[in-house]
Amino acid sequence: MSKSKHSLDHPLVRPRRLRQTPAMRRLVAETRLSPAQLVLPMFVREGITEAVPLGSMPGIVQHSLESLPKALAEAADAGIGGVMLFGIPETKDAVGSQATDENGILNLATAVAQREVGGELVVQTDLCLDEFTDHGHCGVLDKKGVVDNDATLGRYREMALMQARSGSQLLGLSGMMDGQVAAVRDELDANGFEHVVLLAYAAKYASAFYGPFREAVQSTLQGDRRSYQLDPANRREGLREVELDIAEGADVVMVKPAMSYLDVLADTAATSTVPVWAYQVSGEYAMIEAAGANGWIDRDRAVAESLTSIVRAGADAVLTYYATEVATWIRQGRI
């Protein structure tokens, strides 16, 4: 009987055995995407009667209250985990009054979403003032034009109650004010909304990749948000924010953006005692779309790879503008 010979030309260990066929690669995949992991951000704009396309985000629209139900139904049919709603009012002011008006666009959209798909998807709302203020900041300003942290917490308390009363099941606290989780949790619990989930945008960085989002919400930002969003240079500080938000009662924590902060995401996933989510932001979406449209990359493969990398780094769920599309691919067995 001849014996096998192993040498430099005939290696004993052959990792390629597990990469031979699509079926084999699928069988041994370490990271898998599920429709239930995906959350779709949606923009709803006051004063329009049909969807308005966004130039910087091909395929994404500002919805009207009339166009919203169909998109919600499509998302539910695709089996995604939930939708995150952002409101765009016609009128903005210094304190974001429309955010706490029961007839404000976000609160009306929330009621529509809860009525249409509340039993199938987790209806989520963005709790931040930037869409509603005429200066575009995430909080109210003091006499010097600086965001007043503690005065803003009072507005967040009011917003939380209104969003919960409108039917939101999960509030996305994205403003990056110190103490925001504790303040909102206290207000909700004191008013009988102990069941409402709090998602803390804990490690939210002052990123250049938010650019297209500013078009989507018609931002009128004056200056920048570097005094309250995290410095992109800081890794440990992201973990500090995560730990603080969990201590204050966050049910879920977020890392945002996703792809440029996979190290922070992995750190968070390794230490967090609550679910960890990540947001594939507008700039990440726009870059893939632009490169794909120019034929520089395979657009669909890049979409799947980008989301896989985010989940591989530790995200339990991902907010992504690709949610409905990718969920459909998964159910079709394309990825």
Rg (CA), the chain: 22
- Residue 207: pLDDT above 70? yes
The yes-or-no answer on residue 144 being catalytic is no
pLDDT at 216: 84
Q: How far, in Å, CA of 75 to CA of 116, rounded? A: 11
Q: Beta strand pairing status for 122-127 and 170-173?
A: parallel
pTM, to two decimals:
0.95
Helical (H) or strand (E) element with 202: strand 197-204
What pLDDT digit, counting tens, does each position of 16-73 carry? 999 999 999 999 999 999 999 999 999 999 999 999 999 999 999 999 999 999 999 9
Which amino acid type is present at position 55?
A: G
CB-based contacts of 144-148 (< 8 A; 24+ apart in sequence): 146/227, 147/177, 147/227, 147/228
Sketch out the chain's domains with CATH numbers.
Answer: 33-332 (3.20.20.70)
CB-based contacts of 143-146 (< 8 A; 24+ apart in sequence): 146/227
Degrees, nearest 5: CA angle 96-46-135: 30
In the three-class reduction of DSSP (H, G, I as helix; E, B as strand; rest coil), residue 82 is classed as strand
The yes-or-no answer on residue 256 being catalytic is yes
Q: How far, in Å, CA of 248 to CA of 239, rounded? A: 14
What pLDDT digit, counting tens, does each position of 260-295 carry? 999 999 999 999 999 999 999 999 999 999 999 999
pLDDT at 218: 80
Closest to 204 measured CA to CA, from 168, 253, 148: 253
DSSP characters over 11-41? -S--GGGGGSSHHHHHHH-S----GGGEEEE
